[in-house]
Amino acid sequence: MEGEAGERVDLTLLRRHPVASILVLLCAAGFLLASPPLFAAPGAPRVSDIRAWTNEIYTRVAIDTGDEVSWKANLLAADPARGLPPRIFIDIRGAGIRDEIRRKPVEVRNGLLRQVRAGRFDRDTVRVVIDLERESSYRVFALPSPFRIIVDIDGEGEVPVLRMSPDAAVPSSEDPATLPPAIAPSVAPPTTSAEPAAPSAPPAVPPSVESSRVAAAPPPTARKPRVRVMIDPGHGGKDPGAIGPTGLKEKDVVLAIGRRIREKLSRSVEFDVRMTRDGDVFIPLEERTAMANKGGVDIFVSLHINASRNRKAEGFSTYVLSRGASNREDLELAARENGVPLRELQGVKFIIDDMFTGARKNESLRLAKTVNDAIVRHVSTRYPGVQSIGLKQAPFYVLVGARMTAVLVEASFISNAREEARLRDPSCLDGIADGVVEAIRYYGQNGILAHSGS
Ligand SMILES: [Zn+2]
């Protein structure tokens, strides 16, 4: 999906450290944008909607302005003398505001967030104020096409994480080639499996389940927490995704795969499986992430089908979030999946907050490798010679701010006539689903739910 032209990726990070009073890191890009007019002229951008997704420990607020605006954000400590709670405010210059937004605050009052309100601060500025119930870490960034400012508020500090045994901890790395061994699948891959671009790793050794249990140290009588999984079929509604040579649409294929995954995974009681969409509807990328975060999900799997101008391009790949991509093809892919022109992703400092992403990066890398291997193995039983492109990294908006282990699958190329035909075959879709299910099962059964659940 092509986005509107002329906008810039502007992912700005603001973070408040618990100890330091306020540490504000403002990405220069937020202030180097072409200056809009100083007051809201007719046709100027305007705050048209404020959307919020929230639970007791997490809130995402999206401020829709449509066109690009200049903005800045800050946090004010509570002022007990004046009866004011801690609050985050975002000043938007040169924009108007829809009357209904100005008149009607978004009331939440859930222990983390009190309300979101907006109004004209002065002649040049619309101010959006987020009244918090208590001081919280937060960050703010903007996404283009259409322009929206996203505020993520973390009311918990340490984010829940599905951990493998402590022994499995590995140093963080941006380079797939230096990855640790993937989690061993429950069935050994056939030795004939073609993996030209897969990382050359030593034989995978499953982490010790026993040590995992020790690390988890649950009371003997405690009920094992269910693993919450969010399956995210990409695109939908007005956004068909990539379209194959004979007209097959990505949005339909990934929904069919997603439903299969849910059906298969739900056979095990330990999995609580949800989907971001279960119909042909359009859901903005930031909302998909917010749904997973709000739901306290442990594993997020976004489903997509690749496409390339090179009609011979083929194979399966699975991605994790990174600030950049190692080649032009991956950048083009990320731009297409993000619904923005390629130039939006080029030469831009794509700031990704390690507060939410870093802790789960290694887990996401492991799951991505396991998922991709398992998909290729399952589809290979029906279609010999299936290609694996392997584990990759790129700046996908749908993964930005995800608080859980999160991967994005590119299940072969719909632009390749042979692979498009394969994607019309229900047994191929079953194979893809079986691969994802096997990997999630393995990951879930051998992981430790470090959070207490809710
Ligand atoms: Zn897609």
Which pLDDT tens digits describe the chain residue by residue (454 residues)? 333 322 222 222 223 333 222 222 223 233 333 334 445 566 789 999 999 999 988 999 999 999 999 999 999 999 999 999 999 999 999 999 999 999 889 888 888 999 999 999 998 899 999 999 998 889 888 888 899 999 999 887 544 443 333 333 333 333 333 333 333 333 333 333 333 333 333 333 333 333 333 334 444 445 667 899 999 999 999 999 999 999 999 999 999 999 999 999 999 999 999 999 999 999 999 999 999 999 999 999 999 999 999 999 999 999 999 888 888 899 999 999 999 988 777 543 455 554 445 668 889 999 999 999 999 999 999 999 999 999 999 989 999 889 899 999 999 999 999 999 999 999 999 999 999 999 999 987 776 443 333 3
Largest pairwise CA distance in the chain? 72
List the CATH code of the domain at 162-449.
Answer: 3.40.630.40
Query: Is the CATH number of domain 29-154 2.60.40.3500?
Result: yes
Helix (H, G, I), strand (E, B) or coil at 337: helix
Cα–ligand 1 centroid distance for 146 (angstroms): 18
Fold matches, 29-154 and 162-449: no
Q: Which residue in this structure is represented by tokens 């011979």? A: 312
Cα–ligand 1 centroid distance for 319 (angstroms): 12
Cα–ligand 1 centroid distance for 14 (angstroms): 29
Cα–ligand 1 centroid distance for 27 (angstroms): 28
Cα–ligand 1 centroid distance for 234 (angstroms): 5
Cα–ligand 1 centroid distance for 334 (angstroms): 9
Token code pair at residue 454 = 């809710």
Which residues have a Cβ under 8 Å from the Cβ of 126 and sit 6 or more positions away? 40, 46, 47, 91, 92, 95, 96, 97, 118, 119, 120
Rg over CA atoms, the chain: 22
Locate the domains of the chain by residue range: 29-154, 162-449
Cα–ligand 1 centroid distance for 419 (angstroms): 15
Cα–ligand 1 centroid distance for 238 (angstroms): 13
The answer to pTM > 0.85 is no
Helix ranges (DSSP H) in 36-175: 99-103
Per DSSP bridges, beta strands 162-163 and 448-449 are antiparallel
Which residues have a Cβ under 8 Å from the Cβ of 128 and sit 6 or more positions away? 47, 50, 63, 89, 90, 92, 116, 117, 118
Residue closest to 398 by CA, chosen among 278, 280, 307, 276: 276
